[in-house]
């Protein structure tokens, strides 16, 4: 499954481990029980585990995805990885993260927003609404010219034989990068819970929404139950 995001980004599923039965069977190991088909009793147990924060069984479900996103989105995304890996009290130390390197390959794609948003008056880190039509045209022209200069400068540096690791210093945060991310069901849903909400930056919200659709396809019953309890969705 592959979901397009923004103008050139996407999330693509590489592999999954487990299914909706995995967490309930992991929980039942205490009693030596195991289901072969997901039924109402399994749904009840899964809901109980989620509601009462018995999360360890949900770390047996994993998904591996390729993410193509602007660098500024990846910087926010990586906070979840760092937090999980460095917090000793964390219950979700189950990530793998590998990113493409501008030292080895040339950067080719950049993010071009469809609209330009206004700064929120009551939230220093958020946007609220969009600029008027005149400012939309002016800012689009300004950004396009800036990006033309950036790409021209970068290309000239590469053509001159400059090392890619040095030429990349002129590139902005709008450059697209690519990551392979493997994470447990719990970790992914925690990311969705924190990033698919109004105070998050619009661009990363779009990735969280796309990722949720992917999780609904990979683990439909578990994702629905988790969403009902923690995302307040019926």
Smallest Cα–Cα separation from 58: which of 12, 24, 103? Answer: 24
- Span 62-107, pLDDT tens digits: 999 999 999 999 999 988 775 555 444 444 456 789 999 999 999 9
- Span 206-225, pLDDT tens digits: 999 999 999 999 999 999 99
Q: Which two tokens stand for residue 147?
A: 């990006």
The residue among 128 and 203 whose pLDDT is bigger is 203
Whether pTM > 0.75 for this model: the answer is yes
Instruction: Please give the Cα distance from 76 to 16 (Å, whole number).
Output: 24
Annotated catalytic residue 195: yes
Q: Which two tokens stand for residue 168?
A: 């990349």
What residues pair up with 178 in beta bridges, in sequence order? Answer: 68
Instruction: Please give the Cα distance from 50 to 102 (Å, whole number).
Output: 41
Q: Which of 103, 138, 156, 195 is catalytic?
A: 195
Helix or strand run (H / E) with residue 40: helix 40-51
227: number of Cβ within 10 Å: 20
Instruction: Please give the Cα distance from 135 to 205 (Å, whole number).
Output: 24
- CATH domain 2-106+174-230 topology: Gyrase A; domain 2 (3.30.1360)
């Amino acid at each position: 499954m592959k979901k397009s995001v923004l103008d050139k980004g996407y999330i693509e599923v590489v592999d999954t481990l487990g299914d909706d039965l995995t967490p309930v069977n992991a929980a039942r190991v205490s009693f030596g029980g195991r289901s072969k088909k997901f039924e109402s009793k399994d749904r009840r147990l899964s809901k109980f585990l989620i509601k009462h924060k018995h999360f360890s069984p949900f770390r047996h479900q994993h998904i591996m995805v390729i993410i193509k996103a602007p660098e500024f989105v990846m910087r926010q995304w990586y906070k979840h990885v760092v937090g999980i890996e460095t917090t000793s009290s964390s219950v979700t130390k189950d990530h793998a993260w590998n990113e493409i390197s501008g030292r080895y390959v040339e950067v080719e794609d950049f993010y071009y927003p469809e609209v330009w948003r206004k700064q929120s008056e009551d939230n220093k880190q958020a946007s609220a609404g969009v600029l008027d039509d005149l400012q939309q045209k002016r800012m689009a022209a300004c950004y396009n010219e800036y990006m033309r200069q950036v790409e021209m400068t970068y290309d000239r540096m590469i053509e001159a034989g400059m090392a890619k690791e040095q030429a990349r210093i002129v590139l902005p945060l709008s450059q697209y990068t690519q990551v392979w991310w493997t994470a447990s069901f719990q970790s992914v849903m925690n990311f969705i819970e924190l990033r698919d909400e109004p105070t998050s930056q619009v661009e990363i919200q779009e990735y969280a929404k796309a990722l949720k659709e992917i999780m609904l396809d990979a683990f439909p019953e578990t994702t629905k139950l988790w969403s009902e309890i923690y995302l307040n969705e019926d």
